[in-house]
Structure 1
Amino acid sequence: MSRVRPQVHPGNRHYTVVCSACGARYEDDGLILDCPQPHEPAFLRAEYDRPAAPSGDRAGLFRHACLLPVARTFPGVPGPLVYRADRLGRRIGLSQLWVAFNGYWPERGASMPTCTFKDLEAYTVLGRLPADPPVLVIPSAGNTAAAFAWAATRHQAPCLIVVPAPALESMRFPGPLDPCVRIVVLDGDATYSDAIACADLLARLPGHQAEGGCRNIGRRDGLGTVMLAAAEMIGRLPRTYVQAVGSGTGAIGAHDAGRRIRSGDEPTPRLLMCQNAPFAPLFAAWHSGGAAPADREHEPLARELTNRRPPFTVRGGVREALTESGGDVLCADNGAALAAMALFEETERIDIEPGAGVALAALADAVRAGRVDRDELVLLNITGGGRARQAHDVPLVPAEPWLRVPWRADGDGPRAVAERVGRRLTYAPAAT
């Protein structure tokens, strides 16, 4: 596969990195994840120098490059498809329902390469990196792994991806992955939380660095382009924004984007974050006033939403975004999510992912309960869709693991994985 050359933007970056807690300001090196000052946990955020106008000579993700923390852009990266969904809206009782569809839907021009909005964050994170980056270490439940693996393959960015075994089911691509992408699979009953624990140790290996997840400003602002695209298409901000969440990174990004582009006294959209019962740690934390344990990670339909350590109390995190927007956390069970997936495919003629089904089910329930007015302008983020359609249209190549490791569910499990990976790297130096 030929490499797709990025467009490098020389000179200084068009933004400053600012700490949400102490206000300290930093010039971005493309890798910084945390403020080094001693204070409570807090996200860094990007403060942009340029006007928030989309670029008229670009389409897709980098149409909004002026509000992305990037030093380079990549050609041909699609953005969300935003459209008014009248038929679906009527079925759930809304007169002004808009959908931001992130996936594969060729009739409508949607072409996310790995069928979820994780493509938006992957290309933004890669665009933020310095010219000679370390190996990024990325844990994932599946969708993030697929997005980073394919983006890194297209642009030769070395990365080490750690996933539980079920994640391989969704890791199929239009071509083989580049050797610079190394996938470590945790066999057995490993979960997303186990992958995170392993990645924390692997990031300490020489020449490796944690990608950072929700701490990475590239992730949050890349996902926030859903709000930017919607506001441009609709002509205003929605009153309510609905999204399924695991960590809440995308919803935080949407909130930050809304704050940046609102005009006058226009309110920022109310966030409705949706989780999949029985694994709903953010729902429990928001409604109980603090973090709550979650120990049923294997049971949700939407495995992509299983994050045991969401950034609830961190400054600039979930609780702050919910409070500022007057938002709420909703919940839908597996049966409701399956019914919502079927409803979307019936009305819109395209399949959607379980996480998107959770969001639609929770929204429909909120409308029935009167928590969302029937004439509200609502933006529903369909975070993934069209995977079945893509598999029908495009010959896909399954990902080949670089290393499979039997998972031990004891305290030494992550350390054992790190030792196995370190030994293999000793005999097979990292690809560049």
Structure 2
Amino acid sequence: MSRGRPGTRHYTVVCSSCGTRYEDDGLILDCSRRHEPAFLRTEYADIPAGAGAGAGVSAASGADTGLFRHAPLLPVARTFPGVPGPVVHHAERLGRRIGLDRLWVAFNGYWPERGAQLPTCTFKDLEAYTVLGRLPAAPPVLVIPSAGNTAAAFAWAATRHQVPCLLVVPAPAMERMRFPAPLDPCVRIVVLDGAATYSDTIACADLLARLPGHHAEGGARNVGRRDGLGTVMLAAAEALGRLPETYVQAVGSGTGAIGAHEAARRVRGEGERLPRLLMCQNAPFAPLHEAWRATGQAPAHREHEPLARELTNRRPPFTVRGGVRDVLAESGGDVRCTDNEAALSALALFEEVEGIDIEPGAGVALAALAEAVVAGQVRRDELVLLNITGGGRARQARDLALVPARPWLRVPWPGREEGPRLVAEQVERRLTGTGTGAVVVGEGV
């Protein structure tokens, strides 16, 4: 695999609905034919058929360590040196505390003693570098909405490799935008001040992606994002020598769980069962849980109340072909919901037993898993992989001198009805130099 300049692509992009095949241009997000909403997916040329998960992953591994050791199973035209990957270990003591004999943890964050070195402390680093590695040689400006973690991952990856991007975040997200060095001016952060939520950033990004020279990153529709997150499953299969029986992850959109499922499908051996997906959400805002349980209720308008705000996606890809509903059904999976109190207890438990802090979303996953064990949904002897989607942020802050990012533009949020249009106007004026009434801070960072 080449480094630096994009090279030959070793995969094909295929529509999950009609089967139309595309040669990837690094930007395609949707099938061009008219049919139900459907994800594109990747097919790779060199996966050994029926070899088993452990053998398949080993055969796919390249000379790199970290994320890009799995480059033959990633939709990338180039790789980047020194990008860490997930770290998988047998969590015996933690398992005993929640009633499991075979609990394994995929830790995605900063934990030097375990060899975990993800630069922005969450598994969003995996998707950011994969999406950037998929891009064409002269990419447009990627427009990316985020509650914080995704923006941080793309900001740092784009800074390191000079890829222009426009990030849209609510004001609380800036707490997570701290880096080992200043960001490059090619990274522009638009902050929505006031009561804006993650869902509001998505609505704004939809309009901003229509600006000349800009392009939507695509979220769950981007095969680079899903396959990058799917390396958690590849790393686990390599460590275990097989696929886990159950895969547990906190979800907002469900993109990471879909990616894990797609990765498992690629590398499973003949007759090997796919891992059962246990997706976890944080009450009181749990639209995927409500949709899966078919309650008929509209998503609660309470996005500020969950502990794990990174999970508050109002428009998760539930009914899209190849989306959450399909992977839950194919894997025999389920969606569980837990509350803030249980998640806080789980955060404390993990740090007590394992010795490292974890993110609120990871606490939601651990709490939901513990509750599933008590309910008899997960057997004591089941081989379980728990995705700790973020951790070590407090440890990193103690170890490293981090530089706060500076917004390129701050816009007072006027409300959901007029907000996206007004934000788009302010950004366009800033880009074209025609002046703006918004509060502007800095030229880049």
TM-score by length of 2: 0.94
Counterparts of residues 362-377 of structure 1 (less than 5 Å): 362-377=368-383
Counterparts of residues 46-85 of structure 1 (less than 5 Å): 46-51=42-47, 52=56, 53-85=59-91
Q: CA-to-partner distance for each residue in 1:310-350, whole Å, 9 max, x for gaps?
A: 00000000000000000000011000000000000000000
What letter is aligned with 1:30?
G
Output the CA distance in 2 between the equivalents of 1:292 and 1:262: 37
Counterparts of residues 194-233 of structure 1 (less than 5 Å): 194-233=200-239
Paired residue for 2:27?
31
8 Å CA contact retained: 1:174, 1:395: yes
Output the CA distance in 2 between the equivalents of 1:6 and 1:412: 44
Output the CA distance in 1 between the equivalents of 2:300 and 2:222: 24
8 Å CA contact retained: 1:193, 1:307: yes
Q: CA-to-partner distance for each residue in 1:198-221, whole Å, 9 max, x for gaps?
A: 000000000000000000000000
Paired residue for 1:242?
248
Counterparts of residues 178-193 of structure 1 (less than 5 Å): 178-193=184-199
Output the CA distance in 2 between the equivalents of 1:157 and 1:330: 38
Output the CA distance in 1 between the equivalents of 2:303 and 2:416: 16
Output the CA distance in 1 between the equivalents of 2:178 and 2:343: 24
Q: CA-to-partner distance for each residue in 1:236-259, whole Å, 9 max, x for gaps?
A: 100000000000000000000001
Paired residue for 1:45?
41
8 Å CA contact retained: 1:283, 1:330: yes
| Residue 267 (structure 2) pairs with residue 267 (structure 1) | no
Residue segments in structure 2 that go unaligned for 5+ positions in a row: 48-55, 435-442
| Cα distance, 1:427 vs structure 2 | 1.6
Q: CA-to-partner distance for each residue in 1:385-408, whole Å, 9 max, x for gaps?
A: 000000000000011000000001
8 Å CA contact retained: 2:75, 2:134: yes
In structure 1, which of residues 255, 269, 273 is the aligned counterpart of residue 261 of structure 2? 255
Q: CA-to-partner distance for each residue in 1:342-392, whole Å, 9 max, x for gaps?
A: 000000000000000000000000001100000000000000000000000
8 Å CA contact retained: 2:196, 2:413: yes
8 Å CA contact retained: 2:254, 2:324: yes
SS of the residue 1:185 aligns to: strand
Q: CA-to-partner distance for each residue in 1:275-327, whole Å, 9 max, x for gaps?
A: 00000000000001767323111100001100000000000000000000000
Output the CA distance in 2 between the equivalents of 1:291 and 1:34: 29
8 Å CA contact retained: 1:103, 1:112: yes
Q: How many residues align?
A: 426
8 Å CA contact retained: 1:291, 1:312: no
Paired residue for 1:6?
3
Paired residue for 1:344?
350
Paired residue for 2:336?
330
**Structure 2 vs 1, CA of residues 360 and 197 (structure 1 numbering), >3 Å: closer, same or farther?**
same
Output the CA distance in 2 between the equivalents of 1:369 and 1:251: 22
**Structure 2 vs 1, CA of residues 202 and 56 (structure 1 numbering), >3 Å: closer, same or farther?**
closer
Where does structure 1 differ by over 3 angstroms across 4 or more consecutive aligned residues? 5-9, 289-292
Output the CA distance in 2 between the equivalents of 1:334 and 1:271: 22
What letter is aligned with 1:390?
Q
Output the CA distance in 2 between the equivalents of 1:295 and 1:322: 25
8 Å CA contact retained: 1:163, 1:185: yes
Output the CA distance in 2 between the equivalents of 1:106 and 1:360: 22
Output the CA distance in 2 between the equivalents of 1:293 and 1:359: 20
Output the CA distance in 1 between the equivalents of 2:7 and 2:269: 31
Q: CA-to-partner distance for each residue in 1:95-118, whole Å, 9 max, x for gaps?
A: 000000000001111000000000
SS of the residue 1:288 aligns to: coil
Output the CA distance in 2 between the equivalents of 1:345 and 1:206: 47
Greater shift, 381-390 or 42-51, is seen at 42-51
SS of the residue 1:411 aligns to: coil
Output the CA distance in 1 between the equivalents of 2:416 and 2:175: 25
What letter is aligned with 1:232?
E
SS of the residue 1:236 aligns to: coil
| Residue 280 (structure 2) pairs with residue 280 (structure 1) | no
SS of the residue 1:182 aligns to: strand
Output the CA distance in 1 between the equivalents of 2:422 and 2:6: 42
| Cα distance, 1:55 vs structure 2 | 2.4
| Cα distance, 1:9 vs structure 2 | 5.7
| Residue 128 (structure 2) pairs with residue 131 (structure 1) | no
Paired residue for 1:21?
17
Output the CA distance in 1 between the equivalents of 2:299 and 2:142: 29
| Cα distance, 1:410 vs structure 2 | 4.2
Paired residue for 2:363?
357
Paired residue for 1:423?
429
| Cα distance, 1:177 vs structure 2 | 0.2
What letter is aligned with 2:20?
A
SS of the residue 2:60 aligns to: coil
What letter is aligned with 1:39?
H
What letter is aligned with 1:33?
L
| Cα distance, 1:138 vs structure 2 | 0.2
What letter is aligned with 1:341?
L
SS of the residue 2:284 aligns to: coil
Output the CA distance in 2 between the equivalents of 1:286 and 1:85: 30
Greater shift, 54-63 or 68-77, is seen at 54-63
Output the CA distance in 2 between the equivalents of 1:170 and 1:59: 27
| Cα distance, 1:58 vs structure 2 | 1.4
| Cα distance, 1:54 vs structure 2 | 3.2
Residue segments in structure 1 that go unaligned for 5+ positions in a row: none
